């Protein structure tokens, strides 16, 4: 029997978790939503795994087939989304809102508007699958522990009985760290079983449920054994045979790639979005050329999907650029794509777009915090083109964009736009003024 007093989540001991888990099947839609908030906000908080996380995962896996989870919550959820959307619009209309907050609120509004556009049945089941997918994703960022702490039940009891949950000692003690290591170890041991439980939902008639199952299975596959990976790949391939929509087909190709299966056949698909999803997992000249071609129209790539596959945790163009730059590639080869990405750059996106491009353009720059490395005394044609594209984009020179300033500083560029312009004007290549 579980002793919830000896487990913890983001806000302390997990004595409130069993009630929330029971409420996942409550007749009250409000209680179900509160239970979901608890799973995403406490049991798994901003991607952090706690000692209660494996216990909650076991419970959710156990109830997946309960018909009560399929009860339609569309009307209730949409009423809540409308309420949140109204609150966001009110905040956007308020005077004095900073640019950073406005950008965040505008993204929230876009997300909420997409949720309102959904016409499919919405259930507690798709939320449960989403939670399992988020746990699987968090686990994929962890390394399987090689040394497993040996902690006796008596030591655990003594820790929880004598250490206040609101104390520094509770959260920063070696015991806390050891208990979280044990939780991660336990989740790794559950990966194969999680995939087995998730696979049947990949074929679900409800596209939202199927999508969440595809994403969750793919996320757990990163921590699973070879047998489970094969089962997952077979399930993805089975659904792919009859997949007709771009969104679902892309999700399945991405999921298949995450199992390690060969997706090179989809490089020849007639749809550039499907080609690019496959190219992420294939390191050939053809795949690289596909990624470059997609990034020549980066804003179009961001609009490929009505319901973006879970694989893309940020703008699609950011992920495609990241995967492209992980290859042994030259600035000259990707220059058209690099210039298009810089042109599409916005304030506060530097770390995901022009920052990595600057690093490729100036590979000899060695950055030490607080020190601006020397700039080259000569610019290549490609380096000059990158800097001119940067100078042409008003959005990347915001005085409040600290990350942008840092990305420029890392390669030695001055903070001022005029100083960069003067550098480009006066720097020469092979003795000839550019």
Q: pLDDT tens for residues 249-281?
A: 999 999 999 999 999 999 999 999 999 999 999
Among 305, 329, 353, the domain-final residue is: 329
Do 351 and 308 share a domain, yes or no? no
Q: Examine the pLDDT at 434 and tell me if it is beyond 50.
A: no
* CA 184/CA 190 separation, integer angstroms: 10
Given 310, 329, 348, the domain boundary residue is 329
> Angle at which helices 124-140 and 174-198 pack, to 10 degrees?
130
Residue 105 has a pLDDT of: 85
pLDDT at 54 over 60: yes
For residue 403, being part of any structural domain is answered with: yes
Q: What is the pLDDT of residue 11?
A: 94
**pLDDT tens digit sequence for 137-148:** 999 999 999 999
Question: What is the C-alpha separation between 44 and 113, in angstroms, rounded?
Answer: 25
Q: φ and ψ at 216, to 5 degrees?
A: -65, -45
Quick check: 40 pLDDT over 60?
yes
43: burial class by Cβ within 10 Å (0-12, 13-18, 19+)?
Answer: buried
Using CA atoms, how far apart are residues 261 and 8, in angstroms rounded to an integer? 37
Judged against a pLDDT cut of 50, whether residue 405 lies above it is answered with yes
Helix, strand and coil in the chain, % to nearest 5: 65, 5, 30
CA-based nearest residue to 112, from 132, 141, 128, 91: 91
- Is residue 296 over pLDDT 60? yes
Q: Are residues 300 and 317 in the same domain?
A: yes
User: Do 168 and 33 have their domain in common?
Assistant: yes
Same domain? For 222 and 325 the reply is no
Whether residues 28 and 136 share a domain: the answer is yes
Same domain membership, residue 371 and residue 356: yes
208, part of any domain:
yes
Is 96 a member of any domain? no
The residue that leads in pLDDT, 74 or 16, is 16
Query: pLDDT class for 119, splitting at 50, 70, 90?
Result: low
CA angle 41/351/267 to nearest 5° reads 90
For residue 112, being part of any structural domain is answered with no
pLDDT at res. 399: 84
Residue 416 neighbours by CB under 8 Å, 6+ apart = none
213 pLDDT above the threshold of 50: yes
* Bridge partners for 45 per DSSP: 48
pLDDT tens, position by position, 373-388: 999 999 999 999 999 9
Residue 120 in this model has a pLDDT that exceeds 80: no
Q: Look at residue 235 and tell me if it is in a domain.
A: yes
- Whether 340 and 219 map to the same domain: the answer is no
pLDDT band at 284 (very low <50, low <70, confident <90, very high): very high
What average pLDDT does the segment 118-136 reach? Answer: 86
- The pair of three-digit structure tokens given for residue 340, joined into one six-digit string: 């298009």
Residue 298 domain boundaries: 259-329
Among residues 329, 352, 383, the one where a domain terminates is 329
- In a 3-state reduction of DSSP, which class is residue 12? strand
In a domain, 97, yes or no: no
CB 344 within 8 A of CB 308: no
The Cα–Cα gap between 9 and 14 comes to 6
Closest CA to 63 of 127, 157, 109: 127
The percent of residues above 90 in pLDDT, for the chain, comes to 79
Q: Same domain, yes or no, for 317 and 350?
A: no
The yes-or-no verdict on residue 121 having pLDDT over 60 is: no
Q: What are the Cα distances from residue 49, in Å, to 45, 202, 297?
A: 7, 25, 38
Q: Are residues 397 and 316 in the same domain?
A: no
* Mean pLDDT on 207-218: 95
Helix or strand (DSSP H, E) at 432: strand 432-433
Closest CA to 177 of 84, 62, 50: 50
Q: Residue 314's CB: how many other CB atoms inside 10 A?
A: 12
Verify that 338 and 204 share a domain, yes or no: no
Whether residue 269 contacts residue 256, with contact meaning beta carbons closer than 8 Å, is answered with no
Residue 428: the pLDDT is 62
Q: How far apart are CA 195 and CA 111, in angstroms?
A: 28
Q: Percent of the chain having pLDDT more than 70?
A: 97
190-215: string of b/e by CB count within 10 Å (b at 16+)? bbbebbbbbbebbebebbbbbbbbbb
What pLDDT score does 117 carry? Answer: 73
* 428, β-bridge pairs: 433
Nearest to 181 by CA among 148, 132, 136: 148
Identify whether residues 273 and 359 lie together within a single domain: no
Q: Looking at residues 289-293, what average pLDDT do you find?
A: 98
300 and 401 share one domain: no
Which tokens sit at 330?
A: 């030259």
State yes or no: pLDDT of 340 exceeds 90: yes
Question: Is 113 part of any domain?
Answer: no
Is there a domain that residue 101 lies in? no
Q: What mean pLDDT comes out for the span 186-206?
A: 96
Q: Quick one: residue 315, left, alpha or beta (phi over 0 = left, psi -120 to 50 = alpha)?
A: beta
Check residues 76 and 411 and name the one with the higher pLDDT. 411
Question: Mean pLDDT of all residues in the chain?
Answer: 92
Instruction: Count structural domains, the chain.
Output: 3
Mean pLDDT value of segment 205-212: 92
């Amino acid at each position: 029997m579980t002793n919830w007093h000896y487990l913890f989540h983001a806000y302390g001991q997990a004595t409130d978790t069993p009630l929330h888990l029971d409420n996942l099947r409550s007749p009250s839609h409000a209680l179900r939503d509160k239970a979901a908030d608890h799973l995403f906000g406490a049991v798994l908080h901003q991607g952090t795994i706690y000692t209660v996380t494996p216990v909650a995962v076991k419970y959710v896996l156990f109830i997946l087939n309960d018909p009560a989870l399929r009860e339609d919550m569309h009307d209730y959820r949409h009423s809540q989304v409308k309420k949140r959307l109204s609150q966001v619009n009110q905040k956007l209309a308020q005077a004095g809102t900073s640019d950073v907050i406005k950008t965040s609120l505008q993204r929230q509004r876009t997300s909420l508007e997409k949720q309102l556009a959904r016409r499919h049945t919405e259930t507690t089941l798709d939320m449960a699958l989403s939670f399992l997918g988020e746990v699987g994703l968090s686990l994929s960022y962890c390394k399987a522990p090689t040394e497993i702490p040996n902690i006796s039940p008596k030591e655990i009891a003594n820790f929880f009985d004598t250490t206040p949950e609101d104390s520094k000692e509770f959260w920063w003690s070696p015991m806390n760290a050891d208990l979280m290591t044990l939780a991660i170890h336990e989740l790794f041991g559950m990966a194969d079983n999680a995939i087995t439980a998730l696979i049947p939902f990949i074929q679900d008639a409800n596209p939202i449920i199927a999508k969440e199952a595809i994403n969750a299975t793919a996320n757990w596959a990163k921590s699973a054994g070879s047998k489970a990976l094969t089962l997952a790949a077979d399930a993805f391939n089975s659904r792919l045979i009859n997949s007709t929509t771009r969104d679902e087909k892309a999700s399945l190709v991405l999921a298949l790639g995450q199992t390690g299966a060969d997706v090179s056949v989809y490089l020849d698909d007639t749809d550039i979005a499907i080609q690019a999803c496959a190219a992420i997992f294939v390191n050939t000249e053809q795949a690289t050329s596909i990624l470059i071609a997609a990034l020549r129209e980066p804003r179009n790539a961001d609009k490929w999907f009505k319901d973006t596959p879970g694989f893309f945790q940020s703008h699609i163009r950011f992920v495609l650029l990241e995967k492209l730059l992980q290859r042994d590639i030259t600035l000259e080869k990707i220059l058209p794509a690099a210039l298009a990405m810089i042109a599409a750059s916005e304030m506060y996106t530097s770390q995901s777009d022009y920052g990595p491009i600057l690093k490729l353009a100036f590979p000899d720059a060695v950055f030490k915090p607080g020190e601006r490395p020397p700039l080259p005394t000569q610019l290549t044609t490609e380096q000059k083109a990158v800097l001119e594209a940067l100078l042409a984009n008003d959005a990347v020179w915001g005085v409040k964009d600290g990350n942008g300033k840092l990305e420029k500083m890392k390669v030695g560029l001055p903070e001022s736009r005029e100083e960069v312009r003067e550098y480009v004007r006066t720097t020469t290549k092979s003795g000839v003024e550019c």
